[in-house]
Amino acid sequence: MKILANDGLSQTGIKNLEAAGFDVITTTVAQEQLENYINENQIVGLLVRSATQVRKDLIDNCPSLKLIGRGGVGMDNIDVAYAKEKGLHVINTPAASSESVAELVFAHLFGGVRFLYDANRSMPLEGDSKFKQLKKAYAGGSELRGKTLGVIGFGRIGQATAKIALGIGMKVIYYDPFIESAMVKVPFYDGQSVSFSFNSLSKEEVLKSADFITLHVPAQKEYIIGKNEFNIMKNGVGLVNAARGGVIDEVALVDALESGKVSFAGLDVFESEPNPEIKILMHPQISLTPHIGAATGEAQDRIGSELASQIITLLK
Residue intervals in the chain for CATH 3.40.50.720? 2-94+297-315, 98-288
Let me know the angle formed at the C-alpha of 295 by 291 and 296, rounded to the nearest 5 degrees.
150
User: Which H or E element spans position 203?
Assistant: helix 203-209
51 has pLDDT over 90:
no
Is residue 4 classed as helix, strand or coil in its secondary structure? strand
105 has pLDDT over 90:
yes
Band the pLDDT of 44: cuts 50, 70, 90.
very high
Q: Is the dihedral of CA 145, 150, 152, 154 positive or negative?
A: positive
Q: What is the pLDDT of residue 123?
A: 96
Q: What is the pLDDT of residue 95?
A: 85
Looking at residue 32, the DSSP 8-state letter turns out to be G
Q: Which CATH number fits domain 2-94+297-315: 3.30.1370.10, 3.40.50.720, 3.20.20.140, 3.40.50.620?
A: 3.40.50.720
Q: What is the pLDDT of residue 94?
A: 86
Annotated catalytic residue, options 271, 291, 302, 306: 291
Q: What is the pLDDT of residues 243-302, one digit of tens each?
A: 999 999 999 999 999 999 999 999 999 999 999 999 999 999 999 999 999 999 999 999
Q: What is the pLDDT of residues 117-132, one digit of tens each?
A: 999 999 999 999 999 9
Q: What is the pLDDT of residues 52-100, one digit of tens each?
A: 999 999 999 999 999 999 998 888 899 999 999 999 999 999 889 999 9
**Residue 273 is a catalytic residue:** yes
Mean pLDDT score across all residues of the chain: 96
Q: What is the pLDDT of residues 165-189, one digit of tens each?
A: 999 999 999 999 999 999 999 999 9
Looking at residue 185, the DSSP 8-state letter turns out to be E
How many other C-beta atoms are found inside a 10 Å radius of the C-beta of residue 55? 13
* Residue 187 identity (one-letter amino acid): P
**Residue 291 is a catalytic residue:** yes
Band the pLDDT of 162: cuts 50, 70, 90.
very high
Cis? peptide before 274, omega within 30° of 0: yes
Q: What is the pLDDT of residue 245?
A: 95
Across the beta sheet with 2-5, the strand order is 23-25, 2-5, 43-48, 67-70, 89-92
Annotated catalytic residue, options 244, 250, 271, 302: 244
Length of the chain: 316
Q: What is the pLDDT of residue 73?
A: 83
**Residue 108 is a catalytic residue:** no
Across the beta sheet with 171-175, the strand order is 171-175, 148-152, 212-215, 237-241, 262-267, 286-288
pLDDT more than 90, % of the chain: 95
* Distance, CA of 60 to CA of 67 (rounded, Å): 13
Contact 156, 98 (CB under 8 A): yes
Q: What is the pLDDT of residues 191-238, one digit of tens each?
A: 999 999 999 999 999 999 999 999 999 988 899 999 999 999 999 999
Count of alpha carbons within 13 angstroms of residue 202, beta-carbon side: 5
At the second CATH level, the architecture of 98-288 is 3-Layer(aba) Sandwich (3.40)
